[in-house]
Amino acid sequence: MIAADQPRLVDSHCHLDFPDFDEDLQAVLDRAAAAGIERMVSICTKPAGLDKVRGIAEAHEPVFFAYGIHPMSVAELPLVTVEDLVAAAAHPKCVGIGETGLDYHYTAESADKQQESLRLHIEAARRTGLPLIIHARDADEDMARILAEEHRAGAYGCVMHCFSSSAALAEAALDLGFYLSMSGIAAFPRSKELREIFAAAPLERILVETDSPYLAPPPHRGKRNEPAHVAKTAAVGAGVFGLTEAEFAAATTANFDRLFARAAAWSPA
């Protein structure tokens, strides 16, 4: 039973199509509902996963999806075309483009191809009007440059998913009108500097997510993450902004609805 005063939240980024959830997906969704998680965006990271992630969204009312190729996968796969992204985005429950971006921590050798892929995803975001979902790791300078260059060429919406980069990249993204998403990393005891970056950002540009099955917040750290645990990260976020959990939940949900307008407008009817 959900308490009447329980904060209602959105998990803006998870991976429900990953094998980690194959055995108990319905139980995971039930726990999310019991924790007040009313909607989830499951992110497809490879073309081969599109049918599965789309099918999960079709089968479960609270689940939406986004489509793209993860930057760590572009070296081993053909680049997705703008047309392919736009075609996938025609589905009424597809609410974002990505995740895309740059990851020089593990896959710096494919930097040029990652940058090309990122620009293709940005063009698809422009054409569809859906927000871009960005993964950034150890690529702050190139990321800030490309996002700004492309924004000057034509505006688009964007969220810096699982933000854990520098204050400089946060400022660059916020200056473009983009959003920063708070994951379980922000709840780790060692993440004081990251929490300070979030605290300096406008509340109206903050989202929350799990990135499940990864990055579970305390007290679940080291275990499989799942959408219900976004409530733990949101509790930390509330403290960062000096708000009650209900106030922070309401603010981040309103932010989600503003950025992910198709999800906000969707009705099963």
Annotated binding-site positions: 13, 15, 99, 135, 161, 211
Q: For residues 237 and 219, what is the distance between their CA atoms, to the nearest angstrom?
A: 15
Q: For residues 22 and 32, what is the distance between their CA atoms, to the nearest angstrom?
A: 16
Residues comprising the binding site for a divalent metal cation?
13, 15, 99, 135, 161, 211
First-residue to last-residue Cα distance in the chain: 26
Q: For residues 176 and 255, what is the distance between their CA atoms, to the nearest angstrom?
A: 16
Q: Tell me which residue of 205, 153, 155 sits closest to 179, measured CA to CA.
A: 205
Output 213-222 pairs: Cβ under 8 A, ≥24 positions apart.
Answer: 213/15, 213/18, 213/20, 213/21, 214/15, 215/162, 215/183, 215/184, 215/185, 216/184, 217/184, 217/187, 217/188, 218/187, 218/188, 218/189, 221/184, 221/188
Residue burial 69-90, b: 16+ Cβ < 10 Å; e: rest: bbbbbbeeeeebebebbbebbe
Q: Tell me which residue of 21, 16, 27, 23 sits closest to 55, measured CA to CA.
A: 16
Residues contacting residue 16 through CB under 8 Å, at least 6 positions apart: 25, 28, 40, 42, 53, 56, 63, 212, 227
